[in-house]
Every structure is written in C-alpha cells, then in structure tokens.
Amino acid sequence: MSSPFGHSFAGYVISFYKSKTLKPQSLRIIFFYVFIANMPDLDFLPGLLIGKPNLYHHGISHSFGAAILVSFALAFFIHRKNHKRIGSDFILFLSLYCSHLFLDYLCFDRRPPLGIPLFWPLSTKYFIFPLLPGIRHSALDHATIREFLAGVFSMHNVYVISLEFIVMIPFIVLLLFLHRYVHKHDVQLKT
C-alpha cells in the first residue's frame, strides 16, 4: 500500500485538474478531496476498535464496487437539491477514490491475500502489480495496535515516503508549470 502522503498527494493532483488552479476555492474543499482519496483506508477503523487494525484492511473498500457505491452516494448527498452536477461530481469522486486503488495495486504487499479485491462484488480474487515498495504496518491480520504502530513508525516507511516524494517532484513541477500557463493564458484572454 502507498502511504497516506502518497494518497493525499494523488487527491490534490486530481483536485488541481478539477479546479484548474493551485488554490482551490477553499481549504475545506481540498481537505474533502484528500479525504476521499484516503477513504479506502477507513477499513482500518473496525479492526482498530477491536484492537487488531489490520484485520479488515485491503478488503472490499479497496474495490471498484466500493468506489462506485461511495462515489455515487457522495455525489447524490452533496447535490440532492441540484441534480445538474451529480454526473461530473460522481466522476471526480470516482477518480479520487480509484487513485487510492491504483496506488495500492502498484505497491508490494506482505500480508496475504496479496493485493486488493479490485473487481468485488463480481470477483473475490485479489490483484497486485508490485512496482513500488509499500508501507509496512505489520504482516499479521491479528497484530495488536502496538505491533501495528511499531511497523508504521519504521525506517522502511520513512524510505517509502521519501521515495514517494521524489517520484512526485515531476508532478509538482508539472502542476507549477500548468498553473503558470493557465494563469498567463487567462490574462491574455482578458486583454
């Protein structure tokens, strides 16, 4: 799995393309988009409540089925009075949610079943294409909170987050370039 930093950055990049600016209309909106990009990892919460954070991780919340359901529900509830934007918001929320699935699909996984159930509910098969090192948080489903946290706060995870940052530098440069280009283009159109 990717780190929350990686998932958050993916959410920010997608929000940039939605808003066409480096500064969204409000910080609340950007935090909402980042939250959606991290939503599949809310599957840690039920396990955390019973003292075994990994127990439900990489389950059905890491699937296209969940992505579609959550994205539709968010779009519907946010725009239940104004149905004109449900379709575009559904696509945005689906993109944010699926960015998480894509990153986790590309990361090495140490805990069986390896990968994520991408095509749930149509299939319970797990898929993985491990190109990137993944965050470690204990390879055991029954790991205690203490064992889980010991895995999270490891040098390996510092390495992975550093690597994610290095990989994202070209995207940051591209965002800055696009922002400058869009701003320059808007100024020329207004004159």
Please give the pLDDT value at position 185.
Answer: 58
What is the overall mean pLDDT for the chain? 82
Domain interval for residue 38: 4-190
Instruction: Provide the whole-model pTM.
Output: 0.81
Domain count, the chain: 1
When pLDDT is averaged across residues 111-131 and rounded to a whole number, the result is 92
C-alpha R_g of the chain: 18
State the pLDDT confidence band at 110, using cuts at 50, 70 and 90. confident
When pLDDT is averaged across residues 12-20 and rounded to a whole number, the result is 73
pLDDT at 122 over 90: yes
